[in-house]
């Protein structure tokens, strides 16, 4: 069985603060994929990143960065200098061979960025 | 390039009725996925269609069904609607590669 835990239900920050969204996953498979999606108030999920289990290299894309650590089964997402437009619900997801690669999503973290 | 489209945006039905939701994938994508996002429950996988065939389904009763047409668009049908079926239904598509899915804006179904 696979599981994704996003322990932070809601985070509230003031614009320009840095914020880290936590994601902890569980799987028995050695081959798996991790994702982050953003869901703004409009409802549409926006794909942010995919990382496979063999690539632990951290990634930076503009103000976004991801820290993948297999030792702690975590795939955390950091937004640097947050902006009001970052306000959304962020979902972490896991796909693995044992789950027929059907994504399992976490419950999501609601990020509110105040001006 | 046009993204995944879904119709209708909103749908209001009465308990016991049937609902039909539609999804058009990104051009070139052959796989379509359906998810239910009920309040407080996160995203739950419903169905996966690829090349016209149902490839997998989540833990939902048989009254949730669907199909994929030759042009890869898809329908989700929910029969005998229950109040707890009220949710946002999201469709996603991928180019046969299940690892990267692109989502549509969703259909919000309200059952009264």
Shortest Cα distance from B105 to chain A (angstroms)?
4
pLDDT mean over A66-86: 95
Q: Is A46 on the interface with B (CB under 8 A)?
A: yes
Q: Is the pLDDT of residue B101 over 70?
A: yes
Q: Is the pLDDT of residue B1 over 80?
A: no
Q: Is A45 on the interface with B (CB under 8 A)?
A: yes
Shortest Cα distance from A9 to chain B (angstroms)?
10
For residue A30, give every residue at least 6 positions away whose Cβ sits within 8 Å of its Cβ, in sequence order, or none. A53
- Provide the pLDDT for residue A97: 82
Which has the higher per-residue pLDDT, A100 or A109?
A109
Backbone φ and ψ of B85, nearest 5°:
-80, -10
Query: Which residue is closest to B42 within chain A, CA to CA?
Result: A107
B3-61, pLDDT tens digit by residue?
A: 999 999 999 999 999 999 999 999 999 999 999 999 877 899 999 999 999 999 999 99
Express as a percent the part of chain B with pLDDT over 70.
96
Contact list in B for residue A100 (CB cut-off 8 A) is 56
CB A36 within 8 A of CB A53: no
pLDDT mean over B86-103: 86
User: For tokens 């993948």, what's the residue?
Assistant: A68
Q: Is the pLDDT of residue A42 over 90?
A: no
Shortest Cα distance from A72 to chain B (angstroms)?
23
Q: Is A77 on the interface with B (CB under 8 A)?
A: no
- Provide the pLDDT for residue A27: 94
> In chain B, how long is the greatest CA-to-CA distance?
39
């Amino acid at each position: 069985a696979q599981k994704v835990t996003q322990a932070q239900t809601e985070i509230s920050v003031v614009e320009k603060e840095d914020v880290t969204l936590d994601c902890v996953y569980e799987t028995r498979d050695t081959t798996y994929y991790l994702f982050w999606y953003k869901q703004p108030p409009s409802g549409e999920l926006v794909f942010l990143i995919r990382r496979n289990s063999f690539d632990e290299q951290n990634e930076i894309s503009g103000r976004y960065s991801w820290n993948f650590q297999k030792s702690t089964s975590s795939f955390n997402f950091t937004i640097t200098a947050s902006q009001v437009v970052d306000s959304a619900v962020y979902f972490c997801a896991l796909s693995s061979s044992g789950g027929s690669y059907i994504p399992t999503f976490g419950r999501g973290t609601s990020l509110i960025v105040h001006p | 390039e046009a993204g995944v489209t879904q119709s209708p945006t909103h749908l209001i039905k009465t308990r016991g009725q049937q609902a039909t939701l539609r999804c058009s994938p990104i051009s070139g994508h052959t796989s379509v996925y359906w998810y239910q996002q009920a309040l407080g429950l996160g995203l739950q996988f419903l169905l996966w269609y690829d090349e016209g065939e149902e490839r997998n389904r989540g833990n939902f009763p048989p009254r949730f069904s669907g199909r994929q047409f030759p042009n890869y668009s898809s329908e989700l049908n929910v029969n005998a609607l229950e109040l707890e079926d009220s949710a946002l239904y999201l469709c996603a598509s991928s180019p046969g590669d299940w690892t990267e899915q692109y989502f549509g804006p969703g259909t919000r179904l309200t059952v009264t």
